[in-house]
């Protein structure tokens, strides 16, 4: 289960990087791709990536360092979800 979450986390990182590149190319009008004309797709990818990494870094041994990294990833995902909910994209 842990290896699957780790693999999904890294796949989501590459998808997020790809979404970032396409969003920047569309924002600066080099190319036009319909779903990348705002930051909504990038924000959704970031929420998934940060949530997966927050879950992956959470260790059952409760090391303080891992717990802080995990909570910070989950907090950033929650803040990004709040901005999506407020339609800031």
What would the 3-class secondary structure string for the chain be?
CHHHHHHHHHHHHHHHHHHHHHHHHHHCCCCCCHHHCCCHHHHHHHHHHHHHHHHHHCCCCCCHHHHHHHHHHHHHHHHHHHHHHCCCC
Q: Which residues of the chain have pLDDT under 50?
A: none
pLDDT for the residue numbered 57: 85
How many domains does one find in the chain? 1
Q: pTM for the whole thing?
A: 0.87
Domain range for 74: 2-85
pLDDT for the residue 65: 76
């Amino acid at each position: 289960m842990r290896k699957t979450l780790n693999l999904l986390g890294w796949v989501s990182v590459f998808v997020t990087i790809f979404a970032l590149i396409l969003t920047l190319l569309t924002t600066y009008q080099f190319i036009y791709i319909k779903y990348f004309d705002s930051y909504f797709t990038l924000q959704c990818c970031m929420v998934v990536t940060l949530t997966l990494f927050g879950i992956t870094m959470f260790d059952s041994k409760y090391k303080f360092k891992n717990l802080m990294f995990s909570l910070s990833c989950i907090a950033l995902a929650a803040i990004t979800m709040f901005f999506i909910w407020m339609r800031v994209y």
